Amino acid sequence: MDADSLREAVRKRYAETARSAAGGVTGGCCESQPQADELPVVGGCCGTAVELSELGKILGYSDDELAAVPTGANLGLGCGNPQAIANLKPGETVLDLGSGAGFDCFLAARQVGEGGRVIGVDMTPEMLSRARDNARKGGYPNVEFRLGEIEHLPVADNSVDVIISNCVINLSPEKAQVFKEAFRVLRPGGRIAVSDMVTSAPLPPEVRADVALYAACVAGAATVDELRTMLADAGFVDIVIRPKDSQELLEAWGAAEALKNRVFSASIEARKPME
């Protein structure tokens, strides 16, 4: 599939997730499964399910963080906790790439305070609608959500201090363009703090060609070396990519055996040089 077709497949997948969540069903990076009269759950790639609170702890969120956001903001769509590496400061402007229902944006808003600002960008109108509803419910005047693609950000040059993202860049068919856009909108000295999926080696062609696995945060993952090259080519310095032991996460997704030692969650950090 070409880039536009892949992007549309991802958009459709997450629109369905947003609609399902609106009906009381929550979905993770993989397929969501209706669970009547049970706690909110996230379905794995092979049909397993874990409670959202349990998945949140696997991803590195504290009980306080999980309880701090409006109900319905956490859809279990991440693969890590970018807040843990972002080192956000009061007064900063934060941009979240692929903000979904707003979970990480609302956590970032707590850290930057009333003098700071958080912008979420998502290409799925259904997700934006949920995020804006959540912002109203939670009372977040310093958070806004914009419709747009992360390859073509609706954000001014040199206007952002920190970029965060959680398991979204792997979904882009044009990752190098994402990092070029990130570099453009960051102020000199600005930084990125991203949680995403990476691979230890290129995935087999049959895996990369599977659209369902692509939309499930697996088939589109780049290798660590590929990501480092894309970041450097975009102009970033101080690049640090740390793959983590992801067995527990893959088990929660129901894909531990198929992806063991091949696909990992990683923290990705880099900085735009000072002019």
Taking only the tens place, the pLDDT of each residue in 214-228 is: 666 777 789 999 999
Q: pLDDT band for position 21 (50/70/90)? A: low
Q: pLDDT band for position 50 (50/70/90)? A: low
For residue 181, is pLDDT > 80? yes
The pLDDT of residue 216: 66
- Paired tokens of 76: 């279990």
> What is the rounded CA–CA span in Å between residue 116 and residue 143?
9
Q: pLDDT band for position 231 (50/70/90)? A: very high
Q: Is the domain 3-271 a CATH 3.10.20.30 member?
A: no
* Residues linked to residue 50 through DSSP beta bridges, in sequence order: 42
Q: pLDDT band for position 49 (50/70/90)? A: low
- What residue spans define the domains of the chain? 3-271
Write the CB contacts of 196 (distance below 8 Å, at least 6 apart in sequence): 79, 80, 165, 166, 167, 168, 169, 170, 221, 265, 266, 268
Largest CA distance in the chain: 56
* Residues linked to residue 152 through DSSP beta bridges, in sequence order: 149
What is the per-residue pLDDT across 245-270, written as a single tens digit (0 to 9) for each? 877 777 777 665 666 677 888 999 99
For residue 192, is pLDDT > 70? yes
Report which DSSP code applies to 71: T
The pLDDT of residue 117: 98
pTM: 0.87
The pLDDT of residue 215: 66
The better pLDDT of the pair 212, 96 is held by 96
94-109: average pLDDT: 97
